Structure 1
Amino acid sequence: MDESRYPESIPRAAEGCLYVVAVPLGNPDDITRRALRVLTEVDCVAAEDTRTAARLLARHGLRKPLVSYHDWNEEARARQLLGRLERGEQIALVSEAGTPGISDPGFDLVRLARQSGHRVVPVPGPSAVAAFLSASGLPTHAFSFHGFPPKRAARRRAFFRELRDRTETLVFYESPHRILAALDDALAEFGDREAALAREMTKPHEEFLWGTISGIRGDLERRDRVRGEVCWGVRGRDPRRPPEISEAEAAEAAARVEALGLPPRRAARELARLTGMSTDEAYRYLSERRGRG
């Protein structure tokens, strides 16, 4: 490959430039040669976790001034870093792992740099979303990424409810201490769909689980604890089927139909009209409710 066709990593003009540098998810050998070259030449590194960044730089024999840039100081620090760009400095932005700005700090600084006319250069590399999808076994011809679901249960249920009729693969992040609750709410809103979950990707204890939401949840529940950051996803709704409704909504519609006192087949047709079920599905659903009563 003729590398002379590619521009040098750092512009020689006296203009500020922000490099958005992807760093390894876990395995330090996943860093790209171009990322190392940029990290060698910039004036400073803005890092989500300066300790993690220092270890990565040291492993590759680099020493650079580090500036903390994380969720708690993002807005104020972005303006400080913009001032350094105005003075013509070259800055590398790195997150704790993967690509900055993807559910990690970075948006404020990138937006300010763009608005001020500075160059913003991506230095691509590891991404947890791409790594997960590539090995998940879920359909990848269309997908959407939704970051971390809300922490509170009611908001999380509403969050999943808004997504349940999407037909593409849905991908999320989650912390290990909330993953069981998130899977519970996903199961309630999506039904027991095909799903996959990865934790500790590229690290010594990397693990992928594949199956259904309930199966993955059962596997995790049997453990003493879940360790490591999690990326997980579910298959989208089959476009050949009518939009899905939650168990609570189905029960509410069934109660309304039962209150009408209709014969079983007419009741099933009415429930099918309200919910999108087939008439046979509605009939079985009403029969099961009568059996439980």
Structure 2
Amino acid sequence: MGVQHATSAGRLIVVGTPIGNLGDLSPRAIEAFRRADAVCCEDTRVTGKLLAHAGVPKPLVRCDENVIAGRTAGLVERMAAGDTLAFASDAGMPGVSDPGQVLVDAARAAGIAVEVVPGPTACITALVASGIPCEHFFFEGFLPRKAGERARRLAQLASVPGALLFYESPHRVTATVASLAEAYPSREVALCRELTKLHEEVIRGTAAEVLEELETRDEVRGEIVLVVAPPTAGELAELAVRIPGAAGAAGAGVSDLDAALRADIERALADGESASSIAKRLSQRYSRRRREVYAMVVELQAE
């Protein structure tokens, strides 16, 4: 595809924002909002409060997953004409399990400069807070909602040679932890919630022990990150017996995931899903660039 250079006077500034504690808003993030002609965001109420806290009133453009595809072309036109736009998620780094990547890809494709102002990220904060070994890790994002699909995905991830990180909502977390207990009964799990907030909590134990704790509570609040310990050598050996080819996963985790991605693409194509829809859905699930997944879809369609 060749090297791309910015050709526009305007720019897109991707701004990391606090995941709970407003004290984590950086001076550079505030300055980025000041420089912007408008701020694109998932929820105008959430970002409006953040800008009020920073003392930086700005026009807000709603860009959640329901509308961002339809608004991207107009936003790119604004930047091509010279405007500076900031993009902020409700919390954390845009582009990590949120719709911001759509705008970033479109801006780069149009030759518009993209600047990133780093900030807090829930998955890395949770990984460190969990105390689980993190020499290697794989960020999955959200698991499928349906139990069968969730179980199949966890089976595909069983041989990844590192910690696994998942996002989950409070009303689905009990079912997800139950699935973890089925898939990885001997692994340690850390449930991290309300990170950086007053009631921050890390619940750690086997998945069954974490599930037992959740079942004692009337409700679970706050956004949640689940961290699962890497497979042991014994677990990998058992997988090698049950699943031919799983031996050597410690050195082939990436290729295993490529194979899992290709299998998911093939199933989606067989179900009649469009290439663009497959690329959007699976790029988020596998933490890949959408254009990379789209290229794999096109390749498999041609076979």
Q: TM-score, normalised by structure 2?
A: 0.75
Matching residue of 1:237 = 231
Q: Cα offset for 1:239?
A: 3.1
Helix, strand or coil at the partner of 1:147: strand
Deviation of 1:211 (Å): 1.6
Distance in 1 (alpha carbons) for counterparts of 2:132 and 2:87: 31
Match of 2:154 in 1: 160
Q: Is 2:12 the counterpart of 1:15?
A: no
Of the three residues 160, 171, 176, the one matched with 1:177 is 171
44, 64, 73: which is aligned to 1:79? 73
After TM superposition, list the pairs within 5 Å mapping 1:62-101 onto structure 2.
62-101=56-95
How far 1:203 moved relative to its partner? 1.4
The number of residue pairs the alignment matches comes to: 239
The aligned counterpart of 2:268 is none
State the Cα RMSD in Å: 2.0
Using a 3 Å threshold, how does the CA distance of structure 1 residues 61 and 183 change in structure 2: closer, same or farther? same
Partner of 2:123: 129
The Cα offsets for residues 216-248 of structure 1, whole Å up to 9 and x where unpaired, read as: 111111000111111011011113543445xxx
Question: CA–CA distance in 2 between the matches of 1:87 and 1:52?
Answer: 28
Contact in 1 for aligned 2:174/2:214 (Cα 8 Å): yes
| In 1: Cα distance, 2:211 partner to 2:140 partner | 20
Q: Does structure 1 retain, via aligned residues, the 8 Å contact 2:8–2:79?
A: no
Once the 2 structures are TM-superposed, how far is the Cα of residue 139 of structure 1 from its aligned partner?
0.9
Amino acid at match of 1:46: C
Give how far 1:152 is off: 0.8
In the alignment, the residues of structure 1 paired with residue 105 and residue 85 of structure 2 have an alpha-carbon distance, to the nearest angstrom, of: 15
Quick one: structure 1 residues 14 and 119, their matched pair in 2 at CA, closer, same or farther if it must change by over 3 Å? closer
Unaligned runs of 5+ in 2: 1-6, 245-303
The 8 Å contact of residues 165 and 244 in structure 1, kept in 2 or not, is answered as no
* Deviations 1:166-203 (CA, angstroms, capped at 9, x unpaired): 12000000011111111111111122311111111111
In the alignment, which residue of structure 2 is the partner of 1:102? 96
Counterpart in 2 of 1:60?
54
Larger gyration radius, structure 1 or structure 2: 1
**Distance of aligned partners of 1:56 and 1:238 in 2 relative to their CA distance in 1, 3 Å threshold:** same
Shift of 1:275: 7.4
Q: C-alpha displacement at 1:153, in angstroms? A: 0.9
Equivalent-residue separation in structure 2 for 1:122 and 1:191 (angstroms): 40
| Residues 14 and 186 of structure 1, relative CA distance in 2, 3 Å threshold | closer
TM (norm. structure 1) is 0.78
Runs of 4+ in 1 over 4 A off after TM superposition: 272-276
Q: Name the CA distance, whole Å, in 2 between partners of 1:197 and 1:118.
A: 39
| In 1: Cα distance, 2:48 partner to 2:243 partner | 56
How many percent identity over aligned positions? 40
Letter in 2 for 1:238: T
